[in-house]
Amino acid sequence: MAKMSNVEVERSIEAILMVVDEPVTEIILAQVLERPVEEIEAALAALEGSYEDRGFSLRKINGGWRFYSHPNYSAVVEKFVLDGQQSRLTQAALETLSVIAYRQPVSRARVSAIRGVNVEAVMKTLVTRGLVEESGLEHETGAILYKTTSYFLERLGLNSLEDLPALAPYLPDLDGLDEKMAESPLTESLFVRWVANSTLKQIK
């Protein structure tokens, strides 16, 4: 990678942090950008100070860096999230919920990989509305796993997850799904949309 100016390093860091699901360490950023860790630390410090008068902030939490809404505006954010409970779920939320329903327990990173977009905000909405909850940690990565709740079943009028529509013929068996996706990445994405537009649309 060609040498970047300080401004380019800072903007690259911003771009990466905009799409991460979990806090990212200086070491990982340094590896991705192929820059010395000291240079990344300096860039993060400069960025952190530049957001002091904004509605969001850059903070180091549990050894990693992420963007967060500013504490001064927590009441506004809380109102936005709670008001969202009164409205219908968006298409993005329905698609995310369908992934969790059929792949649970599943990590947020895995859901993002399947949908091809960052799902952090959507996941928070689903958790807030009581449709999704944490379900332990992934053994290999330590990532938080998520599953649907009993309230999810109640809203769908189901007794158990076994009552969800069968995957076939919309998807191959889950055991061979990763191999199938390697051959046709859109397979699961198309199914996600089908579930969201049919079975789950009754959830408001």
Residue 90: pLDDT over 60: yes
Query: pLDDT digit string (tens) for 119-141?
Result: 888 888 888 888 899 998 888 87
Query: pLDDT digit string (tens) for 153-175?
Result: 877 777 788 877 765 444 444 44
pLDDT given for residue 180 in this prediction = 40
Section 19-26 average pLDDT: 83
Q: For the chain, give the percent of residues with pLDDT over 90.
A: 22
Section 103-112 average pLDDT: 88
pLDDT given for residue 43 in this prediction = 94
**Stretch among 75-79, 165-169, 194-198 having the lowest mean pLDDT:** 194-198
2: Cβ contacts below 8 Å, ≥ 6 apart: none
Count Cα neighbours of 129 within 13 Å in the Cβ-side half-sphere: 26
**Taking all residues of the chain, what is their mean pLDDT, rounded to a whole number?**
78
Report the C-alpha gap between 55 and 59 in whole angstroms.
13
51: Cβ contacts below 8 Å, ≥ 6 apart: 57, 58
CATH of domain 85-202: 1.10.10.10
Query: pLDDT digit string (tens) for 27-56?
Result: 999 999 999 999 999 999 999 999 888 998
- This model's pTM is above 0.85: no
Query: What residues does each domain of the chain span?
Result: 6-72, 85-202
Same fold across 6-72 and 85-202: yes
CATH architecture of the domain with residue range 6-72: Orthogonal Bundle (1.10)
Distance of CA 36 to the CA centre of its chain: 29
pLDDT given for residue 179 in this prediction = 47
